[in-house]
Amino acid sequence: MLDQNQRSNQFGQGEQPSKIRTLAKLGATSENESGWKRHAQVTGQGATHVKSFHCKLQGEALAHLDEQINAWIESHEDCEIKLVTTQTGEWSDTLGKACHLIVQIWV
């Protein structure tokens, strides 16, 4: 475990490392969107794909979720958003259970 001086030297004065871990940082992705066989429709009708995001119900995590969703939308200019759904629920992981926000974007 790093003491306060080592942590300050490693991350700069007063700067704390982010507690948020993403699949991209771990070197894994949850899906291969480039393998979609159906093209996204831009007619305003009929969703052909869904992209799901989730995060803990905490301020820093919600801000990171916003960044992830915005980055995904920006990188998929050929997709037209048809519907967005949100749910809250209990999510189990290796650390136990926590309340999460689940956002699904239908394109």
Tens digits of residue pLDDT in 42-69:
777 788 889 999 999 999 999 999 999 9
On whether the CB atoms of residues 49 and 40 are closer than 8 A, the answer is yes
pLDDT in tens, 4-36: 555 444 445 566 666 555 545 443 344 446 566
Q: Give the residue carrying structure tokens 């915005």.
A: 70
pLDDT of residue 46: 81
Domains of the chain: 44-107 (3.30.1660)
Quick one: tokens of 78? Answer: 């050929």
Once rounded to an integer, what is the mean pLDDT over residues 84-98? 92
On whether the CB atoms of residues 102 and 53 are closer than 8 A, the answer is yes
Count of beta carbons in the 10 Å neighbourhood of residue 55: 21
- Residues 6 or more apart from 61 whose CB is under 8 A from it? 20, 55
